[in-house]
Structure 1
Amino acid sequence: MRSITVTMSVTLDGVVQGLGRADEDPRGGFDHGGWGQRYTDEIMGAEMAKGMVEPGDLLLGRRTWEDFTTAWARATDGNPFTSHLNAATKYVVSKTLSDVDSWQNSVLLSGNAVDTVAELKARPGRALSIIGSASLVHALHAAGLIDRYRLLIHPLALGTGTRLFEGRAPLTEFELTSSVTTGKGVIIAQYERVA
């Protein structure tokens, strides 16, 4: 059985929307896009690079996959993150896409997200990582399918935006297995679900 790890940047008040760019995700009138850019430093880069050591597959929602396709699919910058993302098998969970041919190694999972991901997780294969994809994370968390969270907890509160945990979900206990604090005050914490 595969494991599923979520890597997500989050504010102190739980917002995960629009980390990277001002225009990344303006849904719901969100006007704080790009809030995470000023917190990047060498410690964060080194911690994120650790996730690239072992090969794994990506699990992405439609919006995140489309955004990543624009940023990474055609990049030839020599960045190790680019090579890692392009080489990984990318499972794209979507009810609306008809194909995912625009980015190499992408596989479409159509239908109900929980059912298709539960089926994928049950098969033998490499570990699955979710980056971003808040709507997908909400559904999979509620279904008890997330094994681990790697949270980059940023020292700010935005007051508005999509939260990491929204809606009803089962009581789930996690254990802190590692944490590092960056020079800019971001706590990178890994939590494992308690069986």
Structure 2
Amino acid sequence: MSRNVVLYELMSLDGFADDPGEGEWFGDADERFMGFLDEVIAKQDTVLLGRRTFDKWAPYWPTSTMQPFADFINTTPKLVFSSTDLGVAWSPSDQVRAAAAPFVTDLKRTDGGDIGIHGSLSLARTLLAAQLVDELRLVVAPSLDGRGKRLFDGDAGLQRFELLTSERSGGCLLLHYRRRS
């Protein structure tokens, strides 16, 4: 049996996912937004992070009270893809110097729950291009950002997903897709 890689991403209508919320483009999400997040993380027992996300999150999340994510991200094992030593300790985190795609291919074959990707756009795009992402959990804000990095940059080629659920949280869309076999 294979573990699922689940990509959870916050993004604007025009596809930008770089530093969501810092430009205040999320607006009127309600309690369903947090329920959607809780559904995603309830099945995850491993998180994959890129170096940039790790460096940004490591000083913030250990003292955050934003639930349910703070407890989850502070206690779940994190695998951080980086070729240079991590400058900050954030337990439980382990550095991975290997190439992401072969490493995740092997990780999917191990026992355990879902493997989550949160933020980490470069890593997410690498794993999408390698067709290793099994589910997309997207929160689409009712805003156009027009700047930053896009989650889908065109390098992944044609991939087909089926829509499992779609809900609203205020003006945001909460979308759940699964890769078609």
Mark yes or no: TM-score above 0.5: yes
2:164 maps to what in 1?
177
Return closer, same or farther for 1:161/1:78 CA change in 2, 3 Å cut-off.
Answer: closer
Deviation at residue 122 of structure 1 after TM alignment: 2.4
1:87 maps to what in 2?
75
Deviation at residue 124 of structure 1 after TM alignment: 2.3
Return closer, same or farther for 1:76/1:188 CA change in 2, 3 Å cut-off.
Answer: closer
Among the aligned pairs, what percent are the same residue? 33
In 2, Cα distance between the equivalents of 1:14 and 1:138? 13
Asked if the contact 1:95/1:112 (under 8 Å) is kept, the reply is no
Return closer, same or farther for 1:158/1:124 CA change in 2, 3 Å cut-off.
Answer: same
Q: Could you list the runs of 5+ residues in structure 2 that have no partner in the other structure? A: none
Give yes or no for the alignment of 1:57 onto 2:17: no
Q: Could you list the runs of 5+ residues in structure 1 that have no partner in the other structure? A: 22-32
Return closer, same or farther for 1:111/1:188 CA change in 2, 3 Å cut-off.
Answer: same
2:56 maps to what in 1?
67
Asked if the contact 2:12/2:25 (under 8 Å) is kept, the reply is no
Bigger proportion of residues as strand:
2
Give yes or no for the alignment of 1:132 onto 2:136: no
Q: Which amino acid aligns with 1:63?
A: R
Deviation at residue 111 of structure 1 after TM alignment: 2.5
Deviation at residue 80 of structure 1 after TM alignment: 3.3
Deviation at residue 99 of structure 1 after TM alignment: 4.0
Return closer, same or farther for 1:111/1:191 CA change in 2, 3 Å cut-off.
Answer: same
Asked if the contact 2:44/2:115 (under 8 Å) is kept, the reply is no
- 116-125 or 8-17, which moves further after superposition? 116-125
Partner secondary structure for residue 189 of structure 1: strand
Deviation at residue 106 of structure 1 after TM alignment: 0.7
Return closer, same or farther for 1:107/1:76 CA change in 2, 3 Å cut-off.
Answer: same
With structure 2 as the length reference, what TM-score do the two structures score?
0.90
Partner secondary structure for residue 60 of structure 2: helix
Give yes or no for the alignment of 1:108 onto 2:95: yes
Instruction: Tell me the alpha carbon deviations over residues 143-191 of structure 1, each in whole angstroms, 9 at most, x when there is no partner.
Output: 11000000101111122221111142231100000111112x1010000
Asked if the contact 1:56/1:127 (under 8 Å) is kept, the reply is yes
Partner secondary structure for residue 59 of structure 2: helix
Return closer, same or farther for 1:174/1:84 CA change in 2, 3 Å cut-off.
Answer: same
Return closer, same or farther for 1:68/1:163 CA change in 2, 3 Å cut-off.
Answer: same
Give yes or no for the alignment of 1:168 onto 2:155: yes
Q: How many residues align?
A: 180
In 2, Cα distance between the equivalents of 1:2 and 1:155? 32
Alpha-carbon RMSD? 1.9
Q: Which amino acid aligns with 2:72?
A: H
2:180 maps to what in 1?
194
In 1, Cα distance between the equivalents of 2:66 and 2:114? 25
In 2, Cα distance between the equivalents of 1:72 and 1:106? 13
Which of 1 and 2 has higher RCO (CA within 8 Å, sep 6+)?
2
